[in-house]
Amino acid sequence: MNQENNNPTDTRPDWLKQIYAETDKRIEESMAISQARFEKEMAISQADWEQRLKETDNRLKETERLIKANAQQIGGIDKSNGEMAEDMFYNSLEQDMTFAGINFFDIDRKKKRHKKSINLKGEFDIVLINGTTLAIIEAKYRVRPKDISKLIEKQVPDFRLLFPEYNNHKIILGIGGMSFEDNSEQFALKNGIGIIKIVGDKVEYHTDNIKIF
């Protein structure tokens, strides 16, 4: 802007030229200051934005960690409650070794076997055995229809494969739970599976329509 002072055609008085020169200089200084301030504010804004992104990312990671921790805790609670229910059912059955009006002479808990030859392994919560019949009892804290389907469709055939020494035995089924959800009790009875329930401080059995598998 101050090239006006070197212009030979400029007929303005020197004092006026000086005023314009000083004005141009101040304008340039002001623009430089404004540009520096703008760049500084932009840098601060960028740093603030990056910090906020970092904080958000950290919060998301912490939320994910808490969700996983809660899931593990809930899973642990369910497992603990399931084991407590299994304890109660096992202790009750062990007292007189009777289920569905049938007397048994042996009871196993967590009966398991792994047959590498057929790549199959299984575990059965409670198994009652006599010379002709065995009862497979599944113990759950909460019984759902899928537990009953699994008992019929997987546990029975797996037991036959894993324990062929009992292939001539009749099999009856029971499922015990502290609670029964989604009409699972009716579903079990409809399929001929005995029910074991905790009512107050007592264990109740419902085995009238039990069938042989």
State yes or no: pLDDT of 191 exceeds 70.
yes
State yes or no: pLDDT of 207 exceeds 50.
yes
Show contacts of 183-190: CB within 8 Å, 24+ apart: 183/145, 184/143, 184/144, 184/145, 184/147, 184/148, 185/143, 187/145, 187/148, 188/143, 188/148
pLDDT of residue 97: 95
**Percent of the chain's residues with pLDDT above 90:** 53
For residue range 72-107, what is the model confidence (pLDDT) as tens digits?
A: 554 444 556 668 888 999 999 999 999 999 999 999
For residue range 149-189, what is the model confidence (pLDDT) as tens digits?
A: 999 999 999 999 999 999 999 999 999 998 999 899 999 99
Within 10 A of 207 (CB to CB), how many other CB atoms are there? 18
**Domains and their CATH numbers in the chain:** 81-206 (3.40.1350.10)
Task: Give the pLDDT band (50/70/90) at residue 33.
Answer: confident
Task: Give the pLDDT band (50/70/90) at residue 39.
Answer: confident
pTM for this one? Answer: 0.64
Q: Closest Cα partner for 109 from 131, 138, 80?
A: 138
State yes or no: pLDDT of 20 exceeds 80.
no
Q: Radius of gyration of the chain from Cα atoms?
A: 41
